[in-house]
A = this chain, B = another copy of it.
């Protein structure tokens, strides 16, 4: 039995893998100051209920911060990545890239072509 640490499929953190959560985390990755609930809902094309449910799961996993405040007299919810959430999600993306490379390599081998080499995230993480 090989080491599961080397198996990128086994390294896909399940908390992020659900497509709705993937789009939430990805959108938060691009927003250092966070996004309001409404902005995030529109960016992710999720319903209020789905977004709330996913945010609870991500907050329980300490991946996001959820801050309630007021914009004038209107209540406003702002969501941002936690430091831990950002690190864990970058590691998830690295595993996802390894999965994609593995599949691309299998296609290339079958076609008699050289295996592709890509490092969208691997290099970044090594330098982080």
Residue positions of A touching B, CB distance < 8 A: 1-2, 4, 7, 9-10, 12, 14, 17, 19-20, 22-23, 26-27, 29-30, 32, 44-45, 93, 96-97, 99-107, 109-110, 116, 118, 120-121, 124
Contacts and interface: CB of A to CB of B under 8 A. Distances in A.
Nearest to A120: B104
B97 A93 contact: no
Q: Is the interface of A mostly helix, strand, loop or mixed?
A: helix
Copies of this polypeptide in the complex:
2
A22 to B, nearest CB: 6
Given A22-B9, A120-B118, A4 B45 contact: yes
Contacts of A107: 29-30, 124
Nearest to A27: B106
A23 B9 contact: yes
Nearest to A118: B118
